[in-house]
Chains A and B, each alone.
Chain A
Amino acid sequence: NAGVTQTPKFQVLKTGQSMTLQCAQDMNHNSMYWYRQDPGMGLRLIYYSASEGTTDKGEVPNGYNVSRLNKREFSLRLESAAPSQTSVYFCASSARGFGSPLHFGNGTRLTVT
């Protein structure tokens, strides 16, 4: 049982380049999320998808776009990477509903030079 799978694990981009972070879950969860983790800042929500076909902005959405491709997959796109987007990105999923814990992937470490 893989849970939440993120690809790639590491990526280095130059300023202005674009890329898509992939995320897939095999737990039949309705909701999916993208967080970023920066030193001393905890986990900040970028975008989330409450269910297939819907997406909403979180706390720090600027510079990002998302696609809920189907129930399993939720991708995060950086159209024009900036050094401020250097971070560790985590995808998560949950069954939704009150108190459902999030299940996280192992993260993508992105460096923008």
Chain B
Amino acid sequence: DQQVKQNSPSLSVQEGRISILNCDYTNSMFDYFLWYKKYPAEGPTFLISISSIKDKNEDGRFTVFLNKSAKHLSLHIVPSQPGDSAVYFCAASGGSGGSYIPTFGRGTSLIVHP
């Protein structure tokens, strides 16, 4: 059973507009959440994270929002650029025994059109 779900396999956005990538989790023990970005033929790279004690974290064009009651987080990219086209993975850690090992979602492929 998936503990971290990214229900949208793909997302298409026009350059300059906002991209919103969503992630849901089922394990209420998760307390740290990360987003990774992956280009083809490369490994994932860390993008941004948020602790459960916060509800928002911002880094330049990237903002992650956390809604603990809904067990939902989202990544906002504003403004979107063609170079943002990649697969984005949501990951969560914590859980039983405080495991630091992240559980990944299946990813969302973002395409930003010029």
By the criterion CB–CB under 8 Å, are B41 and A106 in contact?
yes
Q: Answer whether residue A14 sits at the interface, using C-beta atoms and an 8 A cutoff.
A: no
By the criterion CB–CB under 8 Å, are A104 and B45 in contact?
yes
Q: Can you name 28 A-B residue pairings with CB atoms under 8 Å?
A: A4-B43, A35-B104, A40-B9, A42-B6, A42-B105, A42-B106, A42-B107, A48-B101, A90-B43, A98-B32, A98-B93, A98-B98, A99-B32, A99-B34, A99-B49, A100-B100, A101-B34, A102-B36, A102-B44, A102-B102, A103-B46, A104-B44, A104-B45, A105-B43, A106-B41, A106-B42, A106-B43, A107-B41
How many residues does chain B have at the interface if contact means C-beta atoms less than 8 Å apart? 23
CB-CB under 8 A from B45, the residues of chain A are 104
- The residues in A between 27 and 68 inclusive whose CB is less than 8 angstroms from any CB of B are 31, 33, 35, 40-45, 48, 58
Q: Considering the chains assembled together, what is the distance between the CA atoms of A107 and B38 in angstroms?
A: 11
Chain A residues in contact with chain B, CB under 8 A?
A: 4, 31, 33, 35, 40-45, 48, 58, 90, 92, 94, 96-107
> Across the A-B interface, how many residue pairs have beta carbons closer than 8 Å?
55
Chain B residues in contact with chain A, CB under 8 A?
A: 6, 9, 32, 34, 36, 41-46, 49, 51, 89, 93, 98, 100-102, 104-107
By the criterion CB–CB under 8 Å, are A33 and B101 in contact?
yes
Q: Considering the chains assembled together, what is the distance between the CA atoms of A106 and B106 in angstroms?
A: 18
CB-CB under 8 A from A102, the residues of chain B are 36, 44, 46, 102
CB-CB under 8 A from B93, the residues of chain A are 98-99
By the criterion CB–CB under 8 Å, are A42 and B9 in contact?
no
Known: A98-B100, A99-B100, A102-B102. A43 touches B89 (CB 8 A): yes
